[in-house]
Amino acid sequence: MNVGKENIIKLKSFGFALKIIELSQFLIQNKKEFVLSKQILRSGTAIGALVRESEHAESKIDFIHKLAIAQKESNETQYWLELLISSWFADQEVWGNMLSENKEISRILVAIIVSFKKNL
């Protein structure tokens, strides 16, 4: 279900995944934190992977379902980011912008889902 035009959610989720990889590497190398780094790596990169999967959805329902799962992964990623920043594993000044970036991705996903549900 390719929505045409420049695919903003595809671009934003891919760029976000790259930052998540960078954060995960920072946590492993500088903080010797392996459990939370793996959690955020999994959820933060899953968003973009699910967006990519949705491009080849079998139906509108499948498209919506894949994006709904991406939105859940975004919500989980928000939790891990908040936890890492609140626990001082990740500095607010360095990594805090990822919170707003993730919220923006989540809002875009919700808008797409709502739009497609209206057109079912």
pLDDT attached to residue 120 = 83
More confident residue, 108 or 6: 108
- Is the pLDDT assigned to residue 3 strictly greater than 60? no
The answer on pLDDT for 2 being more than 80 is no
Domains of the chain: 8-118 (1.20.1440.60)
DSSP state string for 26-41: HHHHHH---HHHHHHH
H or E segment at 64? helix 60-86
Is the CB of residue 81 less than 8 Å from the CB of residue 90? yes
Contact between 85 and 92 under an 8 Å Cβ cutoff? The reply is yes
pLDDT at position 6 is: 80
Angle at 103 between CA 99 and CA 106, to 5 degrees: 140
Specify the residue for token string 């590497």: 25
The strand ranges marked E within 23-115 are none
| Three-class SS state of 57 | coil
User: Could you tell me the pLDDT band of residue 115, with boundaries at 50, 70 and 90?
Assistant: very high
Confidence at residue 5, expressed as pLDDT on a 0 to 100 scale: 62
